[in-house]
Each structure stands twice: as C-alpha cells, then as structure tokens.
A and B are shown apart, each in its own frame.
Chain A
Amino acid sequence: MIPLATVPVAALGLFGDAFNFVFSGREAATGGVQVGGPDQVLDLAIKQIEVTFLALGVAILLALPVGLILGHRGKGEFVAVTAGNAGRAIPELALIALMATAVGVGLFNLVVALAILGIPPILTNTFVGIRQVDRSSVEAAKGMGMTNREIITKVELPLAIPTIMGGVRTASINIIATATIAPLAGVLTLGDLIISRNVYGDAGVLAGAVLVALLALSLELALSGVQWALTSKGLKLQRA
C-alpha cells in the first residue's frame, strides 16, 4: 500500500519492524488474521483521542468551576490541595474494576475513571492560579463596582489562565497516556497494541507505545497553542 515503508526501514531493527506494523500490517502472531496496517491503527488512535477529549472535558467541567469559586473566596485550600494530592494516588485499573460492579464496563466507566485522573491537577492549579492574582487588581475591580461573577470572569480568570492551562496540560498528558488501559474496560484504543502482545508481537507493542507518546506530545503542543490564544494581550506584553 505504501511501498516506501518497506525497504529502507529494515535496517532500523525493531523500530523498523514497528514502522512496518503501522504502515503495512502483518499476520497476527497467533495466526489467522491480518493485524496492524494504517486503517486499524488509525481507528485505534482516533478512539484514543476521542476518549481523551471526553474525559478531559468532563474533568474541566467539574474541576474548573470548583477551583474558581474556592480560589475566589480564598477558602478550602485544604480541600483543593488534598483532593489534588489524593487524586494522584488512585490506581486507575482498580477504580475501573470497582466501578464495574456499580455501572459495568464501557465508555462511561472509562471516562469517569480518566476524568478523576484529570481533576486533581486542574483543581489545584485553578485554585493556586486564582489565589496568586494580585489582590490590588481584585480590589480595583471591586472599587469599579464589578460583581463577584464579573471579578471572576473578567479579572481573576484571565490573569490565572497560564497557571490553569498548566494544570489542563498536565491533566491531558495523564489522561491520554492512561487511556492505553481502555481495552481492559471495553474500549479499543492504541493500548490494545500494547496489552495484546500475544497477538501483535513486539512490533505492535513498540508501535503502540511510540504512537501514544507522539499523540501525547502533539496534544501538549496543541494545548500550548490554546494557552497562547487564551492568554490576554496584557499578560503577553508583561512577559516579553
């Protein structure tokens, strides 16, 4: 299908093998079926991205408002920080298994588990970001007669964007990397290449790992772009 993929990569050893796996596919190590190849790999990659965005979206929807309110009021530091730290220690697979008894396996279970992974960095960074906003700016806003809502959305949030986005980026990397366990919860992502080593062989495992790493890097890059776009002109000038 893509002839260029087959000849020169032979010299690259296992990496070349992984390259071939992605672009040409091969018979499964257990025989009987064709595995790998661009179509199959693309399907898996798309699912991985889909799951990541869903979970990241849920995490942002839940963590951002809470962080904003707690940060604005200057209360609940204990909650924000403890939730942040405790959240990092949750074993994802155990969580999925635990929820399987309640809600079964599948997309819902998976997205909730991954969102829980994404909430701590977003919550903590939002809280910290808002707290770090210069108090005199907030006082000035109050003096101008802004409501609480306006202060949050027009003063605190824009000033805290770089810190908040830092949290979102951390969360997104955590989520996209962990989405590799999705095939254990009923959703086929690139993790299938890694988990089903008996079928895909070492080339598949390496291809899966490299592709997940590339996806994570691309997402990080894309979110840096988003951060740049969201950051107000004033802050950018300040930094330059």
Chain B
Amino acid sequence: MKLKYLMVLAMICALSVGLVACGSDDSDDASSEPDATTGKLIESSADNEGVNLKIGSKNFTEQIVLGEIYAQGLEAAGYNVSTDLNLGSETVALQALKAGEISGYPEYVSTALTSFYDTAPEDVPGNAEDAFEQVSTDLEEDGLVALPPTPFQSANAVGLLTSKADELGVETISDLEGKSDDLKLYGSPECRQRVDCLIGLEDNYGLNFASFTPVDIGLRYEVLDKKQADLSIVFTTDAQLGVSDEYTILDDDQGLLPAGNVVFLTEQKTVDKAGPDYAATIEAVQSGLTEQVMQELDARVDIDKETPESVAADYLNAAGYTE
C-alpha cells in the first residue's frame, strides 16, 4: 500500500517538475519522507547494443532485488545484460568484480569500508556523503568506482520480540547491561568473530551473553519466533520490521553497527566502455529507493513470496522507468 502511494507521489512529482529531480537530496539520513523519483522513462539507445554487462549481487533478498532492479534498468537502456545474483559474501563479490567475472554489484558503503579497507566500525562516517567520498578514495587505488549512494541505508541491528523488549524494559543496546547474562544471542557464523558484531557488543558495550549461537541469516527471525533466541542480529531494512511491530530493534547508542547506504561498485574501465547511460541508468533507478520502499520490496519477496525478478519489474514499472 505504502509503495503504491509513494509511486503515485513520485509520478506526480515527476510530471510537475519534468525531468529535474525534485525533493531534497539529503540522502544521508534514511528519512521516512518519501524521496522523489524522477520517473523518467529509460530509453533504449543503439549505442548500448552489443555492450555486455553482468550484474552481480550477494545472496540475500535485498541484494538480489537490487541486482534485479539494476539489471532490468540497464536492459531497458539497451545493454546486453546477464546476472549472477548468488555471490556468497563481500569478499567473493569483490574478487569476482576484480577478476572481471561481473561488471558490478551493489555493496553497503559501511561494509566496503570495514571489510575491504580495514576501517574500524566507529570510524565509518555517519554522513552518507562523507562515507561515499572516503570509500571512493579507497576504491580508486584498486581501479574501482562507486556510483553515488542510494537514498536508503541499511545496518545490522540487535533485534528481539517486542514482547521481550517490553518485558526487559530495554530500548537501546546499552540497556542490556546487567541483563545480557541471561540472554541468548543468535547471529550469522561470522558475527562471532567480528568487531562490528559479537566482539564489539562484548568489548564496546561490555555485554556478556549467556550464549552465542551461529545460524544461517535466513533463519534470523525464525529463531526469535521459536523463542530459541532472546536476541538476533537482523537488518534495519528487513521486511519483517516494516509490516508489523512484532519485532523491535534496539538503538545502537554507541554507533557500533555502522549504517551504510548502498553504492554500485564497478570498474573504471567498465564505466569507460559502457558509456554514459551505464551510470545514469543506475543512478536513476535507485533514486526512488528510500528505506520504506526498500522494506516494502523486501517484504514482497520474503513475506509475500514473490520473485525478486517480478518485484523489481513492478518497481521499475510503477516508478515509470519502464513500461
């Protein structure tokens, strides 16, 4: 419902102001204000025919949806597009990019900074523009480029059942102090040894959990539902958080879990080869992706069980990029 409302708004906006982007462009805070989409129909250009692009993504819902949105947008622009939307982790995706196996993939700025360039989580700039500039400087040395960031941000978060949060009386991660001894935390296997996850929660927040259990990220809400986990590491753009208030996420009051906008990572030589429509198309199709829209799209895949492909196609269509 919200999505449709947003789309209509975006269309009106686009009609009234023409092709100039409307609304503010302070994309650093993931505000719930509906960000404007230009809704400009992507036109197929003969120049782009014969240019092969392979769009990658990591293997979870949000990434796959983003990969589809980019791929279908580029296809509409006339490119010859194929996809590989099942890359395991950021290191795998980066290697595939560097080896030329994919042309580009969406990555969270915070992840790129912490994982690729050893930035401490607390040193990741909170402001999207600053983070984008910092990562661009780092990437340049590797011959890589980050296209401008999406409006929405995503971050890891400590999630729990709202009933449990009320029972414990906690709103922030710091509130867990003194209570964490009895709480069981679940998270991805790598969370256990990451400073922006379990290690940081223990060292920076001084928490000590009853146990940490590694689990497939696909099961992050399952373990809460089953009451196996008291706390589970989730993503702020998760569909489950958007559609109901069954789950609560704790405020990261010490800034341990850096939020990141998504940037499309690609190689400079691909940008040169593919021409101006490449970057322009990607920037255009992502301009409508606010946190709410992204949650909505994730929800349609995770909860309504639609395919990422059709969700992406609907989004592009409703926003007026394709017809």
Contact = CB atoms under 8 A, between A and B. Distances in A.
Interface residues of B, number: 31
Given A30-B115, A105-B223, A192-B189, A197 B213 contact: no
Contact of A195 (B190, B199, B226): B190
A93 interface: yes
B226 A101 contact: yes
B215 A33 contact: no
A35 B115 CA distance: 16
B219 A105 contact: yes
Contacts of B195: 30-33
Interface string B175-206: 00000000000101110111110011001000
A186 B215 contact: yes
B92 interface: yes
Contacts, number: 88
Contact of B214 (A93, A104, A184): A184
Contacts of B190: 30, 195-199
Interface in A90-139: 93, 96-97, 100-101, 104-106
Contacts of B194: 28, 30, 32, 198-199
A105 B214 CA distance: 10
B310 interface: no
B193 A186 contact: no
B91 interface: yes
Contacts of B92: 197
Contact of A188 (B114, B214, B222): B214
A183 interface: yes
B234 to A, nearest CB: 16
Interface of B: 88-92, 114-115, 118, 120, 186, 188-190, 192-196, 199-200, 203, 213-216, 218-219, 222-223, 226, 228
21 contacts: A31-B118, A32-B195, A32-B203, A33-B199, A93-B216, A97-B219, A100-B219, A101-B226, A104-B226, A104-B228, A105-B219, A183-B189, A184-B189, A185-B215, A186-B186, A186-B215, A188-B214, A192-B189, A197-B89, A197-B190, A198-B190
Given A33-B195, A97-B222, 20 more contacts: A28-B194, A31-B118, A31-B195, A32-B194, A32-B195, A32-B199, A33-B193, A97-B216, A104-B226, A105-B213, A106-B213, A184-B216, A186-B186, A186-B215, A188-B214, A192-B214, A195-B189, A197-B91, A198-B91, A199-B190
